[in-house]
Each structure stands twice: as C-alpha cells, then as structure tokens.
Amino acid sequence: MSDQLLGAYSPYTCEISKEAKEAFAQAIRVILGVEYSPVAVSSQVVAGMNYKFFCNTKSVTLYPKNGAAIVSIYAPLPGQGSAHVTHIQSL
C-alpha cells in the first residue's frame, strides 16, 4: 500500500527520469543569468506532469554566487505545447 495521496506530489528522489530531464532541459533553456543543476525531483500527475526540481544554482556573473532553488515546471501532454517554468523559489 502506498502512503502517497491521490493527486499529491511524490517524495523527492535523486533518480531523475529521462522524461523529467527532458522537461527540465526544455523549460530551463530560456532562463538567463543563472545556471540550474537539478539534484532531486518530485512529480505530480495532472493533465500532463508537474515537476518540482531541487537545484543547485550558480549565477553567471564575474564573481559567481552559489545557492539553491526549487524550480517548478509544467510539462503538458504530448502535442499540447512545450514544458515551461511556472515558478522559481530561491532557498
């Protein structure tokens, strides 16, 4: 029996699936000024897929600053558009 509630996000895992990696790469390509490196992911099945990636961050500046962030991405069903960032929360 699973402890996960229907419609809830899954627990974070460091095993990032191929589909999650593809959604991340597609969505993050338009973000400039910060490099995001995913460390773990949580997902939620909707009409498509919601992802929350825990990421290490590094500013793309002369003196880079390191940090962390949660990057939320929505990946619609096939043929319904491309994955895109819905929220970035700096930690």
Read off the pLDDT of residues 58-82 as tens digits, 9 standing for 90 and up.
Answer: 999 999 999 999 999 999 998 999 9
Residues 28-39 pLDDT 10s: 999 999 999 999
Q: Evaluate if residue 3 carries a pLDDT over 70.
A: no
Torsion angle defined by CA atoms of residues 5, 10, 86 and 71, in that order, rounded to the nearest 10 degrees:
150
Residue with the two structure tokens 């999650």: 20
Q: Would you say 52 and 40 are in contact if contact means Cβ atoms under 8 Å apart?
A: no
8-state DSSP, 47: S
Nearest of 27, 42, 41 to residue 76 by alpha carbon: 27
Where would I find the beta strands (DSSP E) of the chain? Answer: 34-46, 48-59, 66-76, 84-90
